[in-house]
Homo-oligomer: A and B are copies of this chain.
């Protein structure tokens, strides 16, 4: 094994991890904003149809190597997380 080859590949993985984290956080900020817009109009935050639409779009644009089932699994985790942040927001608002 070329040790330097392995180090180069690992460096690339670290860069990608960092970019993915940045985007997931950015996504959470936008979803929090959506929560606030919905809050103002008394619309229910959780929208299973919207979640389905997002998953369908993702699976259409997935060219691998991740299998569709994995894409669905990872993104459901990401969706759940963002919803939890919205709920935290709501609780804070109630305490003000």
Give the number of copies in the complex. Answer: 2
A38 lies within 8 A of chain B by Cβ: yes
Contact, CB under 8 Å: A17 / B27: yes
- Chain B CB count within 10 A is highest, among A20, A32, A62, A85, for A20
Contacts of A2 in B (CB 8 A): 37
Contacts of A62 in B (CB 8 A): 21, 25
- Binary B-proximity of A44-70 (CB < 8 A = 1, otherwise 0): 000000100010011001111110001
Contact, CB under 8 Å: B30 / A9: yes
Contact, CB under 8 Å: A17 / B64: no
Contact, CB under 8 Å: B74 / A5: no
Contact of A25 among B17, B34, B64 (CB under 8 A): B64
